Amino acid sequence: MSTHACFEKHKELANRHEEKVRILLEESSKALKPGPDRVVKAGLSASAGSAGLACKAVREAVAQQRLAVREYREASRLRPRDTETQQRLRAASLALRSLQ
């Protein structure tokens, strides 16, 4: 596989991970909002169930953001002069710090 193909693959994977982060954070905010569309397991109160779902979604979002940072780091290693990738790496690192 050529370095250009590897570079593009890492950028694409990083974009996918960041999209998953957005989706997971939206799910966590939906889990905390009261509404009839929430399904809660038997034996749990509605607030405990929604807090657990939100916590799980945030943990998964942090894991996906770590993967995105890793992919951007690898892409920037393959093309060190690509400024767009460097900027995305910085933004992804800041987002990871804010999530943690």
What is the per-residue pLDDT across 53-67, written as a single tens digit (0 to 9) for each?
Answer: 888 888 899 999 999
Which has the closest alpha carbon to 34: 47, 53, 48, 52? 47
Q: What is the pLDDT of residue 44?
A: 47
Could you report the per-residue pLDDT of 1-52, keeping only the tens digit for each?
Answer: 899 999 999 999 999 999 999 999 988 888 777 665 555 544 445 556 677 7
Any residues with CB less than 8 A from the CB of 90 and at least 6 apart, and which? none
**Residue indicated by tokens 């393959």:** 78
The secondary element (H helix, E strand) that includes residue 12 is helix 3-32
Asked whether 88 and 14 are in contact (CB, 8 A), the reply is: yes
